[in-house]
């Protein structure tokens, strides 16, 4: 019994030991698991932190990528704009090279003084037709004096070159009561033409005043006429003006004439003529000076039937003289004539006398009183003979044309003959006492 009890106790002791061992192992396992769990939680937290950091970095990178993409797009746009600008500059540079190689046909100069509003109207009229052919016709404004609004107005246009004539030398008139303005104008013209021909080296200059508008075919007309001017030294200049160019006296925009009377008011002068005129240029009244026989020396001027310029200058140096009667009613051509296709060789000296005499010869002679009525009742052209200046002035007064003469030559006349339309396509020829003989026509 005691042995059994002893064995039972031993077994209990063994079982207790086993239990204690199991508990210790279990505790150790739990501790190890707890440590591992803590480590796992810590690792997970670390991983989560790293993930968050990575996500933040990715978000930051994405933001940077978006910003870089926007910057790239902006740079692409700027590059595109820069490329376009470079191409534009290259085109302009090429155009400038072409323009430099393009020999100008003529410089165009607008003579100005103190009328800024008039100058603006004139410049705008010229630019309307000159812009597309500016390399052929470089535009200048030459101002006499220092009127600030005129200078400011001229400098406001980048399509033209500004020149300023400052003349402080006192003016001494030759006769009492003369206007100083005419002396200043003559000085200004000489200075400006010297500048354009000798400093800028142009071969031709078209002279306009600051109170003119031009016709649509103004430049084509001068280009066509320049070929005749170059071939025929008996032509002193080409004008765009007809003194008898009022609406009731013109009809044919294609018709051109030679004239012994200098028309002015929009005219083209070649350098070889200026070489002759410049050294002896007058102190005043330069236009009437050009009408003296001693200066034009038998040379003539080309003029159109229908004016290619219109003078709107009621207020100026001439104080509006003749404006209402002769200038305001002028017909400015509105027909786009294809001058390039026109044969103008009939204007050459060796052909024109025959050309003109053939026209005059066909005109029906009219004599006696009531000349206007008789002319009006005749179909076709009419010629009326005048005996002297007084007789001419009387007949001209009846029709309403210019009566003025200069140095023995009526305005617009060729060999003493003044031609104009009279309210119809018919032409009226006022024929001087020697005109028919000069043309080789038998007097009827």
Beta strands in 292-332 (DSSP E): 300-304, 309-311
Burial class (CB in 10 A: 0-12, 13-18, 19+), 93: exposed
Could you list the active site residues? 287
R_g of the chain, CA atoms, integer Å: 48
CA distances from 156 to 124, 161, 195, 332 (A): 12, 11, 22, 28
CA distances from 194 to 190, 297, 420 (A): 6, 22, 36
C-alpha neighbours within 13 Å on the C-beta side of residue 437? 3
Contacts of 133 by beta carbon, 8 Å cutoff, 6+ apart: 219
**DSSP label at residue 327:** I
Within 8 A by CB and 6+ apart from 391, the residues are none
Contact call for residues 344 and 256 (beta carbons, < 8 A) = yes
Task: Name the 3-class secondary structure at 257.
Answer: strand
The per-residue DSSP string of 245-276 comes to -BGGG---TT-EEEESS---SSEEEEHHHHHH
Copy the structure tokens of residue 209.
């005043």
The tokens for 83 are 């490329």
In this structure, what token pair is assigned to residue 106?
Answer: 């003529």
Map tokens 């306009």 to a residue: 208
SS3 content of the chain, % helix, strand, coil (to 5): 50, 15, 30
- Compute φ and ψ for 245, nearest 5 degrees: -95, 20
d(Cα 364, Cα 426) in Å, to the nearest integer?
11
Q: Give the integer Cα–Cα distance in Å for 143 and 153.
A: 11
Contacts of 212 (CB under 8 A, 6+ apart): 110, 122, 125, 265, 266, 309, 310, 311, 312, 313
Cβ-contact 317, 179 below 8 angstroms: yes
Give backbone dihedrals phi and psi of 416, rounded to 5 degrees, phi first. Answer: 85, 0
* Count of residues making up the chain: 444
């Amino acid at each position: 019994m005691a042995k059994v009890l002893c064995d039972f106790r031993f077994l209990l002791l063994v079982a207790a030991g086993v239990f204690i061992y199991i508990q210790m192992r279990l505790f150790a396992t739990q501790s190890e698991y707890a440590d591992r769990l803590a480590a796992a939680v810590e690792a997970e937290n670390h991983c989560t932190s790293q993930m968050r950091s990575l996500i933040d970095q990715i978000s930051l990178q994405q933001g940077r990528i978006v910003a870089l993409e926007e910057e790239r797009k902006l740079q692409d746009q700027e590059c595109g704009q820069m490329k376009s600008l470079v191409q534009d500059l290259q085109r302009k540079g090429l155009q400038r090279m072409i323009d430099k190689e393009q020999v100008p046909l003529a410089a165009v100069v607008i003579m100005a003084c103190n009328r800024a509003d008039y100058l603006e109207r004139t410049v705008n009229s010229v630019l309307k037709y000159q812009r597309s052919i500016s390399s052929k016709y470089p535009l200048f404004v030459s101002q006499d004096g220092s009127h600030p609004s005129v200078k400011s107005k001229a400098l406001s246009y980048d399509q033209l070159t500004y020149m300023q004539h400052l003349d402080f030398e006192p003016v001494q008139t030759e006769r009492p009561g003369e206007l100083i303005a005419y002396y200043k104008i003559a000085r200004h013209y000489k200075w400006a033409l010297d500048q354009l021909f000798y400093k800028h080296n142009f071969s031709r200059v078209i002279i306009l005043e600051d109170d003119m508008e031009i016709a649509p075919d103004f430049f084509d007309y001068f280009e066509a006429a320049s070929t005749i001017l170059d071939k025929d030294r008996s032509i002193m200049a080409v004008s765009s003006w007809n003194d008898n160019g009022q609406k009731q006296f013109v009809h044919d925009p294609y018709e051109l004439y030679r004239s012994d009377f200098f028309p002015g008011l929009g005219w083209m002068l070649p350098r070889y003529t200026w070489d002759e005129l410049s050294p002896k240029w007058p102190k005043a009244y330069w236009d009437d000076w050009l009408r003296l026989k001693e200066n034009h020396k038998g040379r003539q001027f080309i003029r159109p039937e229908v004016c290619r310029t219109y003078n709107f200058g009621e207020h100026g140096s001439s104080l509006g003289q003749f404006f209402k009667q002769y200038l305001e009613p002028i017909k400015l051509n509105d027909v786009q004539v294809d001058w390039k296709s026109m044969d103008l060789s009939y204007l050459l000296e060796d052909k024109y006398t025959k050309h003109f005499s053939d026209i005059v010869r066909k005109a029906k002679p009219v004599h006696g009183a009531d000349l206007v009525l008789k002319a009006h009742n005749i179909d076709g052209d009419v010629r009326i003979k005048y005996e002297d200046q007084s007789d001419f002035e009387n007949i001209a007064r009846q029709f309403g044309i210019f009566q003025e003469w200069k140095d023995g030559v009526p305005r617009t006349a060729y060999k003493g003959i003044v031609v104009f339309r009279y309210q119809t396509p018919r032409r009226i020829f006022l024929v001087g006492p020697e005109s028919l003989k000069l043309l080789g026509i038998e007097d009827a």
